[in-house]
């Protein structure tokens, strides 16, 4: 994986003027969406403004910083890392925005940042993964073949526990089940359903009672 594309999160303040200024050439070179929107045939191109009423200011600002600095300003101090899931949600929102504006490099960076975030321990050497609410949000706003979906499914399949899947998204749960069928034999070692394994865990008798096959 490329180097961690994250930078530390900047102070988030309330914005009285919700305008973000980006050089047109830089914007259009990276985003087919903005390149099309800013053609002189359209009002947006004539005025040099593209309204984004459905997008969060901080997400668009994150994109601006990425264009100029090649860094995603989402990383949080170690004492806050992972504890509230804000970094994961910000990165998922960034990926969704990247999908909208058709900037594949930006989306790839958010994927790498998600992976880096799950491998960055907090002060107690504990790592975190996206919560079910974040997963549900991602699946609600992405298509079936989205690489973000695949990444989230793999994170849960390889690193999750039975307490993790609390979300309501059926597509995610279906993909998770399929993926776990593939990874479980390698993850958990010996196959407990093979004929050579001890099958008592499936029997009716108590754990400490003799099995009918022991006589």
In this structure, is residue 203 part of a structural domain? no
Are 86 and 143 contained in the same domain? no
Beta strands in 47-202 (DSSP E): 72-75
Residue 5: give its domain's CATH number.
Answer: 3.30.710
pLDDT score of 214 more than 80:
no
Cα gap 31→20, rounded to integer Å? 16
Q: What value does the mean pLDDT take over residues 154-174?
A: 75
**Which of the four pLDDT bands, split at 50, 70 and 90, describes residue 192?**
very low
pLDDT score of 9 more than 60:
no
The region of weakest confidence among 10-24, 39-53, 93-107 is 10-24
Instruction: Tell me the pLDDT tens digit for each residue of 49-99.
Output: 898 989 999 999 999 999 999 999 887 766 665 555 788 999 999 999 999
Choosing from 76, 91, 123, the residue where a domain stops is 123
Cβ neighbors of 171 (< 8 A, separation 6 or more) are 139, 144, 149
Contact 63, 97 (CB under 8 A): yes
Q: What value does the mean pLDDT take over residues 113-130?
A: 85
Are 75 and 104 contained in the same domain? yes
**Which of the four pLDDT bands, split at 50, 70 and 90, describes residue 185?**
low
Are 18 and 107 contained in the same domain? yes
pLDDT score of 170 more than 50:
yes
The pLDDT of residue 206: 74
Closest CA to 38 of 23, 53, 28: 28
* Between 59 and 156, the higher pLDDT residue: 59
Write the DSSP string, 24-71.
HHHHHHH-HHHHHHTSTTSHHHHHT----TTS-HHHHHHHHHHHHHS-
In this structure, is residue 194 part of a structural domain? no
The pLDDT of residue 121: 83
Q: What value does the mean pLDDT take over residues 32-53?
A: 88
Cα gap 36→19, rounded to integer Å? 20
Cβ neighbors of 47 (< 8 A, separation 6 or more) are none
- In total, how many domains does the chain have? 2
Contact 126, 110 (CB under 8 A): no
Cα gap 65→192, rounded to integer Å? 51
**Which of the four pLDDT bands, split at 50, 70 and 90, describes residue 194?**
very low
Are 1 and 29 contained in the same domain? yes
Are 58 and 119 contained in the same domain? yes
Range of the domain at 176: 129-188
Are 16 and 60 contained in the same domain? yes
Are 24 and 69 contained in the same domain? yes
Q: What value does the mean pLDDT take over residues 143-172?
A: 80
Contact 37, 27 (CB under 8 A): no
Are 53 and 105 contained in the same domain? yes
Are 1 and 106 contained in the same domain? yes
In this structure, is residue 19 part of a structural domain? yes
Are 82 and 145 contained in the same domain? no
What is the percentage of the chain residues whose pLDDT exceeds 70?
A: 73
**Which of the four pLDDT bands, split at 50, 70 and 90, describes residue 131?**
confident
Choosing from 104, 123, 142, the residue where a domain stops is 123
The pLDDT of residue 175: 78
């Amino acid at each position: 994986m490329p180097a961690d594309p994250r930078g530390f999160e900047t102070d988030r303040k309330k914005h009285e003027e919700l305008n973000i200024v980006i050089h047109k050439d830089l914007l259009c070179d990276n985003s087919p969406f903005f390149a099309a929107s800013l053609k002189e045939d359209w009002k947006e191109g004539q005025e040099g403004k593209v309204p984004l009423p459905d997008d969060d200011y901080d997400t668009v600002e994150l994109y601006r910083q990425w264009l100029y600095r090649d860094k995603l300003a989402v990383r949080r101090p170690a004492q806050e890392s992972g504890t509230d899931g804000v970094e994961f949600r910000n990165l998922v929102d960034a990926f969704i925005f990247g999908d909208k504006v058709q900037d594949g490099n930006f989306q790839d960076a958010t994927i790498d940042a998600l992976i880096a975030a799950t491998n960055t321990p907090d002060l107690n050497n504990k790592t975190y993964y996206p919560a079910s609410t974040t997963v549900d949000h991602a699946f609600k706003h992405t298509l079936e073949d989205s690489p973000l979906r695949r990444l989230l499914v793999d994170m849960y399949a390889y690193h999750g526990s039975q307490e993790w899947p609390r979300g309501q998204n059926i597509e995610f749960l279906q993909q998770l089940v399929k993926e776990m069928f593939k990874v479980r034999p390698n993850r958990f070692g010996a196959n407990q359903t093979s004929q050579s394994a001890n099958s008592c865990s499936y029997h009716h008798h108590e754990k400490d009672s003799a099995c009918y096959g022991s006589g």
